[in-house]
Structure 1
Amino acid sequence: MLGHVVRCISSAPIWRVLEQLFSSNSKARLLQLRFQLQTVKKGSMTINDYFLKMGGITENLAAAVQVPSDDELLLYILGGLSNEYDPVIMNLTSRQESVS
């Protein structure tokens, strides 16, 4: 890291250089987490394990200040469920009030 900041004369330029260096990694991580949230399927997991996995991904996004809305998260969770959950999905998506 020293090679990147050796010519900086104060802390402000150092922080800018470090931000530029690490922003691509954090953007890639955010994209990866969002992709996981969109593509995780319940599969053979128990419903509890599935919710825990989705919650973990959401917590990682929250730590990066990218919290999905309740509606967005609900759609991701319901989208990962199999056909056996269709009655639950219908019930939740047909409600007028928001589900948290």
Structure 2
Amino acid sequence: MAWLLASISELVGHVVRCTSSRQVRLTLEQLATENSRARLLQLRFQPQPVKKGSMSIDDYVLKMRSIVDNLNATGQVISNDDLVLCILGGLGSEYDPVVVNLTSRK
């Protein structure tokens, strides 16, 4: 138990009242599960508000690809079609002709 407490110094507040290593482990598992759910929700909503803004098109696409890769790593698979739609949705009005052209194709 002492080794566990020493290795998780930033989480001590959550486990300080635990009386066994089993309680520490269960508490940490619960925290990890809660953090995983919160991280998943954060990742899930991240692509929606991302706008290209002043980023280069390359940087913007790489950022979106990175977000989707992180989501895929959590088991939340985002298709390439959905990625393309998210990317197109975040482009500025200067890309409207490209967006219309791409979205009107069969």
TM-score range normalised by the length of the shorter chain: 0.7 to 0.9
The alignment status of 1:92 with 2:98, answered yes or no, reads no
Q: TM-score, normalised by structure 2?
A: 0.71
In structure 2, the gaps of 5 or more residues are: 6-17
> Which of 52, 55, 69 is residue 62 of structure 2 equivalent to?
52
Higher RCO (CA-CA < 8 Å; seq separation 6+): 1
Judge conservation of contact 1:4–1:17 (CA < 8 Å) in 2: no
2:91 alignment partner AA: L
Corresponding pairs, count: 90
SS in 2 for 1:81: coil
In structure 1, the gaps of 5 or more residues are: 9-13
Once the two structures are superposed, the pairs formed by residues 35-50 of structure 1 within 5 Å of their partners are 35-50=45-60
- CA distance in 1 between counterparts of 2:100 and 2:60 reads 19
Q: TM-score, normalised by structure 1?
A: 0.75
> Quick one: structure 1 residues 7 and 50, their matched pair in 2 at CA, closer, same or farther if it must change by over 3 Å?
closer
> Quick one: structure 1 residues 73 and 7, their matched pair in 2 at CA, closer, same or farther if it must change by over 3 Å?
same
SS in 1 for 2:47: helix
